[in-house]
Chain A
Amino acid sequence: MRLPPLRQIDAPHETRTGVVDWAGAPFHELRLVFPVTRTNDHEAAVAHVLGRALLLAGSAGGRREVEQSFLRDGAKASSQPGVDRITLSLTAPPQQFPELLQRVMHQLREPNFCDRAATEAVEYEVMLARSTAGAREIELHQLSARRRWGAGHPYTRAIVPPERLEQVTAAELTDAAGRILGLQDAAMVFVGDLSGRAGDASVAALEEAVGRPWRATTTTIAPDTGCPVDPGLDRVAVGAGEPTGSYRLYAAAPTRQHPDHTALHVAGIALGGYFGSRLVRELRERQGAVYGVVTGFEVLHRAATLAVSMECPLDRAAKVREDTVRILRDLRQNGPDEAELRAAAQFAARGATVGLGTPASLASAGATVVFGGSDLQLWQRQAHEAGQLTPDDIVRVLRTYVADDALVEVLAD
């Protein structure tokens, strides 16, 4: 892919950074990612609320007031909780960026949640949790996390029940922010036009942001290189009258830095990652049994999971399961042919150009990559690796990481 020029900035306190000078970009894009360890259920609730309410720290008002204050400068800022992180996003006009970054960093360095902000944040999260409770995707995510990590692992605490959220207080949010929001182990990625005086001012603001000493934070989860966990068909029942059945295949996968990651990425593409994949060609284009197949990685700070997802009308479910298992077994046993492998590898190698075609998409994807311990040259390295793969490499990684009966089946009782 043709990445716009990268810039180095001085980051003396171990913050991992990536800076892209994208000529002509109308906005500056910043992503700041902080590691979080959800050590118990209450910590998970606090981290969850904090993740969404990060920008309310230091504000006497609520979400609306904070949003309007950024909008008055033509900017948008938000934060998102993740099971192992909190991600802050800032989209700002170049001229306003230095001042807005300074404002954000001040809030993060000296967080202080008032009762009103905390109450509003908790109510919002409770409302969201109640509106999605029982949804199939939520249930499946919890099931996959339990299979992958075992009960009690921090990565199983992605979904927080409403009654836990309701217990979170302003003091706890302030305390957690003080412990979590340090730049050690954090990642900062910037994408924007760094030409001219506005560019110089932005670079100076970025260096100031990461140049001041901060609290030290720690993350306690060991890296995971991935291995099959608890394979075997799982069946989850849904209520009668549901229009679709679901199939999910979860495979414990290595992180992006691991030498097997690219091969597993290409294997996922060949299996169900694009229109030319085996599952899509057979189940959608030949049989009309599914609308689509989605294949991708959930990449966490220290681990990854490969997931293949599809839905089908219930009267098609038995055949879809049979064919999915057969197709996976065949690919795992015999590998792709040369042409099939080259097509999947090409899609992996050149697809990043299209997928990261805007400053915002590059900033978001780049932040995840840098947070995971890699750098913004990752896509170029993976493109090169993809071009070197052989069918035997695909067979090897599928046999290592993907059990051929590891389907999760969701059907009506």
Chain B
Amino acid sequence: MVLNTSAVERLDNGLTLVWSPRVTAGVATVAVHVAIGFRAEPEHCDGMAHLFEHLMFQGSAGVEPGEHFHRIEAEGGRVGGHTRHDYTEFFDVVPSDAVLTAVDLEADRLKGPRLSRHTLDAQVEVIRAEVAQQVEGVTFGGFPWRFLPEALYQNHCNTHDGYGDIPALTKVTPDDCAEFFDRWYSPDRIVVTIGGEYGGWAQQQRIRDRLTEIPARAAAPALHLDEPGLRADRHLERTAANAPSSIWAAGFRLPDPQTDPVAYAGCAALAHLLPTYRPELRLSARCGWYGIPLDAHTPDVFVVHTHPSATASGADLLELVRTVLGDFTDPAALPTVTETAQAQVGLADYMLDDRLGHHARRAGATQLLFCDPLLDAAAGALAGAAPASLARAAQHLLSQAAGTVRVDPMERA
């Protein structure tokens, strides 16, 4: 089923096209990754990248508002979109014979979406409903990503979240959106991945032709996201109305996956092993904000969280985490739980396959971020294979100052 192959080509307009074949039960995925995440949006307009993701479904030159959903769903397909730290993704997962329909729809909106006051107003309201439902209305919703960045970073690009400022978004105009599209959605900032079972040479040529029709535009300048790490541990305390009990998280900087892939892969494995190693501590860990490794540029984060007692301070809890990490620093004397690291990483990767279009989406994301559509497989192979990678990861995490946040219940108004 798994074909660890892919082909990458650059079209004349600058768009990157990734072919990611995979034997399925007759399903193809068209995934679009655009190099605009919420860390790149202008400081005066937090949330713009996410708003624009919504607007991309509101029609384009040859597609009426709502028609994208209608045509994909009429094929039995599913449509989705997400705005992450460093990219916005759109995807269509369809029966194989509908792949060209999905490519046509994507190509049309990548030439330019329809932008109107009405759809803009409606989608800002949808985002208000989304925040209420998905974050404020969910137990521990928004934890840790709403609270922890402030303990870790100084720069605005790294401290704000993707939903941004809803009142500010109501002031965005269609002209602002047109400018945003011109600046950030040029083809040279876009990776389109065709995954699963999508047909032979002739079909591939048709797909290539459709995507080549997107006009080239001037590229936006490169972004600088990185900033110096903490010099000393930093502990914050916050309250939240949707926290029924206390919760605490520590954030550590992940190593750069391109300059230190071994340590990075070890961190990915540690995220699986820490909860299993000391279950009585009820630790959870994740490599990357959303638990998917290799999903953002540096700086990125390794998060450990737990439900603390009433009296435990951030410093106490961080010391405890460091003690646990200390058990993994000697490659010759690792805890026995590490015997199953490879199995845990392999099974976790396999289970992620249940995410719609997962492999094509990951191939597109890693191509966009790290110029390698097969990076997940390479990192997975490293993650459990060598005790040295676990030890190096633990040493990396222990060598730095960390940021922590404790969130306690707040009575609702």
Chain A: residues with CB nearer than 8 A to chain B?
Answer: 1-4, 22-27, 63-64, 67-68, 71-76, 91, 131, 134-135, 193, 239-244, 274-276, 281, 284-292, 311-313, 316, 342-343, 346-347, 349-362
Contact = CB atoms under 8 A, between A and B. Distances in A.
A353 B26 contact: yes
A356 B125 CA distance: 33
B381 interface: no
Contacts, number: 167
Contacts of B77: 350-351, 354
Given A24-B2, A27-B350, A289-B129, A276 B69 contact: yes
A45 B133 CA distance: 31
B279 A316 contact: no
Contacts of B79: 275
A1 B121 contact: no
A1 to B, nearest CB: 7
> 4 tightest CB-CB pairs across the interface, nearest first?
A350-B76, A288-B125, A241-B412, A275-B69
Contacts of A135: 139
A209 B279 CA distance: 33
Nearest to B337: A68
B216 interface: no
B347 A76 contact: yes
A357 B24 contact: yes
Contacts of A3: 25
Interface in B16-49: 23-27
Contact of B94 (A22, A74, A354, A358): A354
Interface in B241-295: 241, 244-245, 276, 279
B73 A276 contact: yes
Contacts of B276: 64, 67-68
A357 B27 contact: yes
B126 A284 contact: yes
Contacts of A74: 342-343, 346-347
Contacts of A354: 27, 76-78, 93-95, 356
Given A275-B73, A343-B70, A291 B412 contact: no
A74 B24 CA distance: 23
B126 A291 contact: yes
B95 A350 contact: yes
A354 B137 CA distance: 30
Given A64-B279, A289-B125, A72 B73 contact: no
Contacts of A27: 347, 350
A346 B72 CA distance: 10
Given A346-B76, A351-B76, A357-B27, 11 more contacts: A72-B339, A74-B346, A91-B351, A134-B244, A242-B412, A275-B66, A291-B133, A291-B134, A353-B25, A358-B24, A360-B354
Contacts of A64: 276, 279
A366 B251 CA distance: 41
- Report, as a range, how many residues of chain B touch the other chain: 35 or more
Contacts of B78: 351, 354-355
B151 to A, nearest CB: 25
27 contacts: A1-B26, A2-B26, A22-B25, A24-B1, A26-B1, A68-B340, A72-B340, A74-B347, A244-B132, A274-B69, A274-B73, A275-B70, A281-B66, A285-B122, A286-B122, A288-B126, A288-B128, A288-B129, A289-B125, A291-B126, A312-B132, A346-B73, A351-B78, A353-B25, A357-B25, A358-B353, A358-B354
A290 B136 CA distance: 14
A353 B279 CA distance: 39
Contacts of A91: 347, 350-351
B344 interface: yes
B50 to A, nearest CB: 13
A240 B413 contact: yes
Contacts of B126: 284, 288, 290-291
Given A289-B125, A360-B351, A360-B354, A353 B69 contact: no
B340 A71 contact: yes
Contacts of A292: 133
Interface in B125-170: 125-126, 128-130, 132-134, 136-137, 139
A362 B25 CA distance: 10
B124 interface: yes
B65 interface: yes
Given A72-B340, A281-B66, A1 B25 contact: yes
A326 B356 CA distance: 33
A46 B354 CA distance: 31
Contacts of B122: 285-288
Contacts of B95: 350, 353-354
B123 interface: yes
A349 B98 CA distance: 14
Contacts of A353: 25-27, 76, 95
A287 B123 CA distance: 9
Contact of A291 (B130, B279, B339, B346): B130
A242 B129 contact: no
Contacts of B133: 244, 290-292, 311-312
B330 interface: no
